[in-house]
Structure formats: C-alpha cells, structure tokens
Amino acid sequence: MSHPTPPTPTLLLLHLPPSILCSIDLLTFITSPTFLGIKNLPPGYHFVFTSPSQSSSLRDGFWFHIPPPSSSTTPCPTLYRKWNPEHEYLIECAEDEGWAAVNQRGGAQVVYEKFLTPYRQSAGAGDGEAVDDDGKEGAWENLTKHITSKLLDRFTSPPSATAAAAAAATASSDPTTTTAQAPPPTATTLAHSNNNNKSSSNHSAPQRRREWTLTTASSALQDLDHIPGLSLTETRSVIGGEEQELGMLGIDLKKTWREGAVGRERTEQARDRSWLLASICGCSDSGINGGGGGGGGGGGGPSWDWEEVVLGQMEICFLMILTLANYSCLEEWKRILALVMTCESAVGERPTFFAEFLRLLKRQLERVDDVEGGLFEMGDEDSSGGGMFLRGLLKGFKRVLDGFGGDGWVVEGAEEVKEEFEEVEKWVRERFGWELGDGFLRSGMLELEDGEMVEMETGEMEGEDESGEYAPVVVEL
C-alpha cells in the first residue's frame, strides 16, 4: 500500500510518552505530547537515543543514515520507530502501522506541519538550521566525517558476536546441528537472523532493530571485569547477560611488540608503537581483530582503509561517550589516543593520517564540556587524573615531533603534522593552561620565612618526562 511521501527526510517516533529524554545528534531535549518525530534531516549519519527519564542512567540508541538526494524524483526517506512501553525503548515499526498512527493525528500534511520538529543542533536555531549550541555550523558533520556503514556494521555486530549468534540460532532451531556447522553470516544477515530468532522465541523482549543499535551498557569483551577461573565469554554471560558486544580494534597496550621479538627490538617496539598500529589495522579485513569486517566476513572481503578505520572508530567511540556515557567506548577512545600518540616512525610514513588525527582530536576536545560528568578531570594534577593522562600523551608526542629534524621532515606533508599539533597545543594552553614543553624550573634558590636562602631541586616532572628514575632502560638478557 502506497503512502504519501514527506517533502524532506523524516524520522517518525511514535507513541513516545511525554517528558522522556530524547536526543538527535548533539541536541538533547524533553519530549512533549505533540512530538512525533523530526523532519528536514540532512544527509549523513545520525544517532538517536532515548531514556525513560532524565535521572535514568541507561540510554538506548541507534544509528541511521540519510543518503544524499540522487534526483528530484527520488522519494525522501522516512524511518519509522515506535515506543515499547514494557521495555522502554524504541523498536522498529512497520510502514502501515506508522501511517495509521499518522492518520489518527489528522493525516500526513497536518503531522508534518504541526507534530514534527525541524532538525537542528541548537534549541535556539531556526527552522532547518543545523548549528550546534556554540553557533558553529556543521559540528555534527565534522564529528562524523570518517564513519561508514561498513564500520558501523562491524562496531555493532563484531565477527565474534555474529558467529555466536548464528550458532545459537541454528542450535535452537535444529537440536541435531552442532555449533561448528553454523556458517558465519555477514553483519547484515545477522541483523535479520537476530530479529527472526527473537520473534520466534519465547523471550519476553519484542522484535527490535539490532543493526547499528547500542546502549549505555554495551561493552567489548576486553572491558568487562575479569572473574578468576572464567573465560571472557563466560564472564560476559555472568556480568553482561544479553547486553550487546561491541567490535573494538583489539588494541592491547601491554604487548606492543611482534611475536618472537627479544632484546633491543622488543624495547624499541614497546617505546615506539608504530608496529602495533600497523599490525592491528593492517591492510585487509583479516588484519582487523583477527577476523572479517562487518559487511564482508573474512578472506575475500573488500579491503579496509586502515587510516579511516582508526579515525572512524575514534569518532564513534567519542560520540557514544558524549551521548550514551558508554564506559567501554571511553576505554577504546583512550586506547586509540595512547596508541597513535606513542608512535614515532609511523609519523614520517603516514603524515596525512597523523595530521587528520590531530584535527579530529581538537574537534573532539572542543566538546569535552558536553560530556556528562566530564570527559576528564582536566584540573586534576594527580597522576591518576584523566587530564594528566591526556597531558602526558601530548607532551610525549610533542617530544616525538621535536625529535624529527633534518632529513626526518623530507617526507612530503610531514610538516603539516607539526602545524596541526601546534593548533592543539595552543588550544589546550588557552583552555586548560597546559604547558607541553619541557621548560620547567627544576632547581633554584628558595627563600624561607626567616630569610634564609636554600637550594632546592624537584623531581616531580620526571615521571611525566620519562627522565631520572623513570627513564627507559635497555636491558641485555
């Protein structure tokens, strides 16, 4: 049955109770009784989440994509979601059911004009204006430049989860079928198999869209608290229950050297993590987390652009921190920062990537005050504080850049990395008062209360500078 097509891309959110927390990209608001959705959606990737109340710590959200208009005759896309009052989250809604609800409110034209709010990123923006709460145009677009459908497939339906889900679905439908017989599906087929399995099972949760969805409690296996005597999978069944597994890059900062490396090679790869960066991202699907990508499985699937993978993962994780306050995404974001900013040789080999990484980092740091509870304790001078974590990485990366000289900057575009870092350095100095250079007073004369002059020396910065007793040492084995 055909239905009227809205004149602009539209997201219908049906049966939402009033006064719940709802968000589209960077704008969070409280729903009203007349709110039925959002119109004038611009092309690109968007994220919506809901929470039963402002005080609830659990948020449930989903990504979706609005393609650019291909022609004036192409119908504008319309997405349908409805509120499930029992489980208090949005689920998929059939088109016929969605338009039946629209007709109850007076029809398509009435709903479009009176019950749909125009897309915007500021409570004070005019109709159709996509500006953030600081008045900067395209803020959301700049924070999602490297996100792709393929990466979202993998992030929300990692290979390990797809194989496990397929095996469980096959086993439940055919008791004689073993786990080994279940073929690993793609992320897209997983989404459909999950929905079919949910609708045919006796589980109380209703059918819902699993592709590109996640919650505050979604987590990667490596970020779960370890229970002695249990494997990571067994730990998830005890702690995580049925919460979704997230697809991370598999960064292990405790082992940054190749298998079999010893002596000086091991020490150098522990200090310069360029090898780990290259090995984790690789140049093909099989190089990421040891398995196929979200859309292609393993082996013969299309190759990944490893630079886009890292930057896209960094963007997804930061936005999930910003919107869902997801702990696992915070840990992955910090792992990416700790990996990239402790590379040395890769800077000269991939200057364009590092320059774009620094531009993205600056854009993200400009939003840290939007993170509920604060992304870092920026004013904390204790070594355990989040601000010191980032400050230490920036200081270390500055030393790496300062160490490049002469022929080290012959690589075309490498100077751009320095320029972008100077922008980051200037911003953190103005915003947080951080000095990333090594020009600190370490010794001098101090006048006591009685007028006596004594010579003082401090070693407080040795840990941050990796000097003194904190300096790395090459040990001959």
Q: How many CB atoms lie within 10 A of CB 38?
A: 24
Q: Once rounded to an integer, what is the mean pLDDT over residues 42-59?
A: 89
pLDDT number for residue 161: 53
Q: Which amino acid does the sequence have at 280?
A: I
Cβ distance 185 to 347 under 8 Å? Answer: no
What predicted TM-score, i.e. pTM, was given to this entire model? 0.77
pLDDT number for residue 297: 34
pLDDT number for residue 450: 81
CA 117 to chain centre: 27
- Proportion of the chain above pLDDT 70, given as a percent: 65
Reported as a pLDDT band with limits 50, 70 and 90, residue 93 is confident
Q: Is the pLDDT of residue 178 over 60?
A: no
131 or 115, higher pLDDT: 115
234 or 198, higher pLDDT: 234
Q: Is the pLDDT of residue 306 over 60?
A: yes
Reported as a pLDDT band with limits 50, 70 and 90, residue 238 is low
- Compute the distance between CA of residue 287 and CA of residue 208 in angstroms, rounded to an integer: 32
Q: Once rounded to an integer, what is the mean pLDDT over residues 370-386?
A: 57
pLDDT number for residue 142: 93
Q: Is the pLDDT of residue 421 over 80?
A: yes
pLDDT number for residue 365: 93
197 or 370, higher pLDDT: 370
Q: Once rounded to an integer, what is the mean pLDDT over residues 278-293?
A: 49
- For the ranges 9-18, 117-126, 255-264, 311-320, the lowest mean pLDDT is seen at 117-126
Query: How is residue 144 written in tokens?
Result: 């999602």
